[in-house]
Structure 1
Amino acid sequence: MGGRSSLQREIFSMSATMKEGFALCGAAASVFREIPRQFGRRTRQISHIVATTGFQGVICRARFKASDWIRPREPVWPVVPDDIIAADLSQPFCARVPEIDREAPITVNWVTGPAGRGSGGHTTLYRIVKQLQNSGYLNRVYLYDPYAGDPKYYQGLAREHYGLTCEIGDIRDGMKDADALVATSWPTAYAVFNARCAGKRFYFVQDYEPYFYPVGTNSVLAENTYRMGFHGITAGRWLAEKLAREFGMQSDYFPFGCDTALYRRDPASKRSGVAFYARVGTPRRAVELGLLALELFAKRQPQIELHLFGERFDNLPFRVTNHGLVSPQRLNEIYNRCFAGLSLSLTNVSLVPQEMLASGCLPVVNDAVQNRIVLDNSYVRYAPLTPHLLAAALESVVSMPDFASVSKKASESVAPTSWNMAGAAVDRAFRVALRQAL
């Protein structure tokens, strides 16, 4: 019995090994059969891409696949995770609000992410900071950087490029007591919520940031910051109304400003083009739709020059002058060469339409409630957000028989607009809210 049992075990073992071998051979045969099939598939795909977009299209797709392959699978957080864990919204810290001394300046701690050159949000924020400083405020800027950048570099950039002269520190070193403590983006709101220094909590809101992300963790984390009990100061009325309606958040707003000394209409300018503000890194500006509209427009009006600014683009199916990121002075020159400018926004409106108006360039903007509320200007041309209708709106501007007269009136319509008005509105919001907090 024992011998037969041993022999049976050997037979069973050999049988299992043979089955595994057959399975491996079958799998290998399957792989080898798949190779020519996949090779044929990829060859046909590459041929199709070359036929439709050229070799540049193949290179673009290869770069996209390579970038996806090397992308880390763990999330890169735009906020320090420990700050999220520490922020228990059910138990907010009751900060002391100092009594305002009429003889002393109002002290404000601004918490902001570090900025590179050309950041529109930081440009507006730092303009307001400088306006308040001119009104006697004592400002401190604290950099919040979850990516562990070099604070000295960004401090230098804030001074050299944005012209800040106030104290600039690293939030990791702690914050001094102040009259007001201001979050300026959703990641910084967590740091402000968790801070233990004195000062009434404010939230400087320039856009509805949950819209910056697909529905998911980041959009929820951003939305939760509107439930932190801060007093909002928003860029334009649309945000103030939205935050009050959806979150019960008390807010004041400031009007969009425009540097009309820099952006101005040149009566001697020869206009021959259309401009488009395009940056792929800001999806809320609907760049792809704008480029499709320009492609249609270029076919209908081939004599009109096209100008792109904000970012350089390759392999476009129409002739265009790529300006990339330009200085404000250069931007004013571009506006003065154009009849119309395309400026799209799926969230809060950008500063671009006001600048275009000041330069006598008529902005074509997607028709949306936030754009109509904030701009509130009869010389803006609104169009539904489809390539054909946007292209038609551009055509209607370039074919206007009385363009020079309309251009002049458009420029005059924003002449009273200034950042002094915006700064004064923020000053009032601080003073009223601080008095009410006592």
Structure 2
Amino acid sequence: MHRLIQLAQDFYQSALDKHEARIINNILKMESFDPVVNIAPDTIRNIAIVVPTLKRYAGGHTSILRLGTNLADKGYKVTYISFHNQNLDQMSSVAHCNLPCVKGSFAQYKEAKKNKYDVCVATSWESVYWSKQLSGYKIYFVQDYEPYFFKMSERYLLAQKTYELGFHIVSLGKWNMRQIQKQCNVIGNIDAIDFPYEPSEYKNKPRDFSAYMHKKTIAIAVYSKEEGKRIPNLLQGILQKASEELAKDEINLRINFFGFKKNHKLTIGENYGKLGKEELAKLYEKSDFGMVASMTNISLVPYEMIAVGLPVIEFREGSFTDFFPEDAAILIDFNYMTLVNAIKKAVRNPDKIEEMTKKARVAITSLSWEKTSDEFIEILCDIERSKKKCRN
């Protein structure tokens, strides 16, 4: 058995090494690592947004589509370019699945290289290297500090290098910007725009928090993924021990994970897989708490939970408090007894949970994708103004 496990581990590591080598070698074929010379265009109308293979239910991809759609609504010509040369019909189908109202056209990288753009927006570390080969003023739309996605490796180093290549960095929220400024030698402009959500898609449903005092089964909707930044193993370990401890007081934890692939094996709870908006709404409605580990930049999930009135459990070690007041969620650490005590205290004091959820909702009342897109457009206008100022 040990021999079989070792063979499986060796096979996995070999496949991972080949995957990493393929990515690195593709970049080395075209990359000199010289910073770009970012020359502001006279006017900005034609915008390229460089993406990998678009995937269904990918929150980051949906955010990119929201930004592009809002830019298109304001009169910009927007093209989403797949540097993986994704099939265009598939690209469009996935985009419309993630955002039915999506606007803009789709193109493969091999064709896009022939076109001229006023601005070229990279959306991930890998896309930065592909974006350098396209025309236009270079912007890097940063949704997370991506070196943290990897162990210290070639991908870690090349991801970190992208912030030092002279792109105009636009960070979704200030947490990324602080990491970049702390870890990297930034030579281009850097700005931050608000991390938003789409309020029209979420309805707050009143909850009877007083009923929490009498609950013997507490349902928790837990967001996690296979990725290390979502601490999948830590989460399961904490919840396993917390569940066993709460059972001593005849409190049953019903743990429902979402975000994993459906075939991912869990040590505790039920795996709902990747969910669409309607399925998520149903899960949130039947849950008593939502739990997220925002260990790098915050995700949309806590915003969704807060918007529908679901009390949130988050980690002190993560980025939640960079976006919300401390008393907008139940904050825990890696000690499972912290979670146990927090749940016991919460159900004994339902008025405190209600007050917490109200404070959390207040924190998001001014947010929307339209407002954040307007902040992005203001940056585009500043780029145009800088050109005119240089002329004068």
- In the TM superposition, residue 115 of structure 1 has moved relative to its aligned partner by 1.3
Alpha carbon RMSD of aligned pairs, Å?
Answer: 3.0
The residue identity in structure 1 corresponding to 2:321 is R
Say if 1:265 and 1:408, in contact at 8 Å, map to a contact too.
no
**Residues of 1 paired with 2:330 and 2:30: CA distance?**
47
Deviations 1:279-308 (A, max 9, x none): 11x210111111112112222153343221
The alignment status of 1:358 with 2:307, answered yes or no, reads yes
**Residues of 2 paired with 1:382 and 1:72: CA distance?**
35
Q: 1:432 aligns with which of 350, 372, 382?
A: 382
- In the TM superposition, 1:37-436 aligns within 5 A as 64-65=8-9, 68=12, 71=15, 74-77=18-21, 79=23, 81-90=25-34, 92-94=35-37, 97-100=40-43, 106-145=45-84, 149-163=86-100, 164-173=102-111, 174-195=113-134, 197=135, 199-245=136-182, 246-248=184-186, 249-267=188-206, 272-280=218-226, 282-299=227-244, 300-301=246-247, 302-311=251-260, 312=262, 316=266, 318=268, 320-368=269-317, 370-376=319-325, 378-402=327-351, 403-436=353-386
**Residues of 2 paired with 1:69 and 1:108: CA distance?**
39
Deviations 1:253-274 (A, max 9, x none): 1212122232232126787421
Deviations 1:348-398 (A, max 9, x none): 111111111111112211113633213346312222233333444344334
SS for the counterpart of 1:182 is strand
Aligned to 1:26: none
When residues 138 and 229 of structure 1 are mapped into structure 2, their CA distance, relative to the original with a 3 A threshold, is same
Structure 2 unaligned segments of length 5 or more: list them. Answer: 213-217
**Residues of 1 paired with 2:345 and 2:363: CA distance?**
20
- In the TM superposition, residue 119 of structure 1 has moved relative to its aligned partner by 0.7
- In the TM superposition, residue 187 of structure 1 has moved relative to its aligned partner by 0.9
Say if 1:142 and 1:168, in contact at 8 Å, map to a contact too.
yes
Structure 1 unaligned segments of length 5 or more: list them. Answer: 1-41, 47-57
When residues 193 and 340 of structure 1 are mapped into structure 2, their CA distance, relative to the original with a 3 A threshold, is same
Say if 2:236 and 2:267, in contact at 8 Å, map to a contact too.
no
Say if 1:89 and 1:227, in contact at 8 Å, map to a contact too.
no
**Residues of 1 paired with 2:168 and 2:325: CA distance?**
25
- Structure 1 residues 206-215 or 244-253, which shifts more? 244-253
When residues 298 and 286 of structure 1 are mapped into structure 2, their CA distance, relative to the original with a 3 A threshold, is same
Percent same amino acid among aligned pairs? Answer: 21
SS for the counterpart of 1:264 is coil
Say if 1:262 and 1:329, in contact at 8 Å, map to a contact too.
no
**Residues of 1 paired with 2:86 and 2:159: CA distance?**
22
Higher gyration radius (CA): 1
Aligned to 2:215: none
- The TM-score, its normalising length taken from structure 1, stands at 0.76
- Structure 1 residues 426-435 or 122-131, which shifts more? 426-435
Say if 2:88 and 2:106, in contact at 8 Å, map to a contact too.
no
Instruction: Give the number of equivalent residue pairs.
Output: 371
**Residues of 2 paired with 1:315 and 1:106: CA distance?**
48
- The TM-score, its normalising length taken from structure 2, stands at 0.84
**Residues of 2 paired with 1:420 and 1:78: CA distance?**
38
Say if 1:240 and 1:253, in contact at 8 Å, map to a contact too.
yes
**Residues of 2 paired with 1:106 and 1:117: CA distance?**
28
Aligned to 1:23: none
**Residues of 2 paired with 1:186 and 1:78: CA distance?**
15
- In the TM superposition, residue 315 of structure 1 has moved relative to its aligned partner by 6.2
The residue identity in structure 1 corresponding to 2:41 is P
